[in-house]
């Protein structure tokens, strides 16, 4: 009678690059809520094929996505400017729409995917008049 060698079974990798339930539980116990949210936003942006905001270069044309953190109307003498702070878990950028006072559907907490040319204004990455898409909550 032959003696069989004991076999070990490697843990099954999570589907599509997602983390296993055990590793997510471990993260929840060791990471702050802010860091977990940042990681999830970065994963969402990568899944949507967007450039991480921390990697944006001046004059680069880019598509980014993230959560609206603040909406501000900056009144100008002749032209109003709607300024939105967008956060992807790695950095915040400013989105500026010249001549706009509001954009329906965009408020703090809204998830956006935007495209445009990046410029650095006072050291902050900024996209003026970007094209945008409001992403439904379950789609990102």
CB count, 10 Å around CB of 108? Answer: 11
What is the rounded distance in angstroms from the CA atom of residue 95 to the CA atom of residue 86?
Answer: 7
Q: Can you give the residue range of the structural domain that contains 34?
A: 21-139
pLDDT value at position 12?
A: 46
Structurally, the chain folds into a number of domains equal to 1
pLDDT tens by residue, 46-69: 888 889 999 999 999 999 999 999
pLDDT at 8 over 50: no
Q: What six digits make up the tokens of 67?
A: 């959560």
In a domain, 15, yes or no: no
90: domain CATH number is 2.40.50.140
Average pLDDT over residues 70-85: 90
CB count, 10 Å around CB of 66? Answer: 29
- pTM of structure: 0.71
In a domain, 2, yes or no: no
Residues 6+ apart with CB under 8 A from 139: none
pLDDT at 85 over 70: yes
Transcribe 102-127 into DSSP letters: --TT--TT-EEEEEEEEEEETTEEEE
């Amino acid at each position: 009678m032959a003696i069989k060698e004991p076999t070990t079974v490697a843990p099954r990798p999570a589907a599509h690059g997602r983390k296993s339930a055990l590793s997510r539980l471990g993260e929840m116990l060791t990471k702050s809520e802010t860091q977990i949210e940042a990681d999830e936003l970065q994963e969402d942006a990568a899944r949507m094929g967007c450039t991480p905001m921390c990697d944006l270069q001046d004059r680069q044309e880019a598509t980014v996505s993230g959560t609206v953190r603040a909406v501000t109307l900056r009144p100008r003498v002749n032209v109003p400017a709607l300024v939105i702070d967008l956060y992807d878990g790695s950095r915040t950028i400013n989105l500026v729409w010249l001549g706009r006072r509001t954009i329906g559907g965009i408020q703090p907490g809204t998830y956006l995917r935007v495209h445009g040319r990046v410029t650095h204004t006072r050291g902050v990455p900024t996209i003026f008049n970007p094209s945008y898409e409001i992403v439904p909550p379950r789609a990102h």
